Amino acid sequence: MSHYFQTPTGQERRREITARFWDADWTFETADGVFAADRLDIGTSVLLRACAPPAGPGRVLDLGCGWGPIAVALAVASPSLLVDAVDVNERALDLCRRNAERHGVADRVRAFTPAATSPDEDRAVYDEIWSNPPIRVGKAALRELLATWLPRLKPGGAARLVVGKNLGADSLQRWLEAEGWSCRRVASAKGFRVFEVVRQGPSA
């Protein structure tokens, strides 16, 4: 398993990176020991360019939030949105909180590990889930992750996932459909697929 999927113990060496999406320029703080420390990764960039933020109020989950580009951008773009940001890497969560504070949305972005969920968080349901999921954890672990969190969608809610074509995107789509999810490809760019996965049944 990659070191990005656990809390690092080495030196942080923090720095700033910039990115442009949703017609705005963004600056984020990153550090060693987190995924995509030196730039906004291509998959997340494709996801953000393919999907518009929710227009109204609601609750959204950023699954595998890293240093927070998706969670923070969603909260900034939709002022009435509440965003939960989940990751197993404590350093990434700290950066996510710092980036939320930097962009003035710390009151609406909550970053936590799956193991640290409270009873309120355990009962949480979401209007949308956004994720550049950790494909490299392996097929079984990835499917377990999605099987845990996708049922938190409200009926009619949608997950927006970006997956590398060469990292099993099409087989993941087939598995999701076999599990009863409505899964359609909404974009394809730079070797990545963007899927919209819709919950059609009752909420968890």
Q: Which helix (H) or strand (E) holds 44?
A: helix 42-50
DSSP track, 162-192: EEEGGGTHHHHHHHHHHTT-EEEEEEEETTE
Determine the Cα–Cα distance for residues 32 and 17; give it in Å rounded to an integer: 13
Q: What is the Cβ-side half-sphere exposure of residue 132, based on CA atoms within 13 angstroms?
A: 23
Question: In this predicted model, what pLDDT tens digit does every residue of 28-74 receive, in sequence order?
Answer: 999 999 999 999 999 999 999 999 999 989 999 999 999 999 999 99
Confidence of residue 6 (pLDDT cuts 50, 70, 90): low
Write the burial class of residue 11 (CB in 10 Å: 0-12 exposed, 13-18 middle, 19+ buried): exposed
pTM of this structure:
0.91
Instruction: Tell me how far apart the alpha carbons of residues 83 and 109 are, in angstroms, rounded to a whole number.
Output: 5
Coil, strand or helix at 25: strand
Residue 153 DSSP one-character state: E
Q: Which fold has domain 14-198?
A: Rossmann fold (3.40.50)
pLDDT-above-70 percentage for the chain: 90
Alpha carbons 138 and 161: distance in angstroms, whole number: 16
Judge whether 109 and 97 are in contact, CB under 8 Å.
yes
pLDDT, position 136: 82
Average pLDDT over residues 14-25: 96
pLDDT digits (tens, 9 = 90+) for 102-156: 999 999 999 999 887 655 555 679 999 999 999 888 899 999 999 999 999 999 9
The pLDDT of residue 92 is: 96
Percent of the chain with pLDDT over 90: 83
Per-domain boundaries in the chain? 14-198
What is the pLDDT of the chain when averaged over all its residues? 91
d(CA 38, CA 89): 17
CA distance 185 to 131: 14
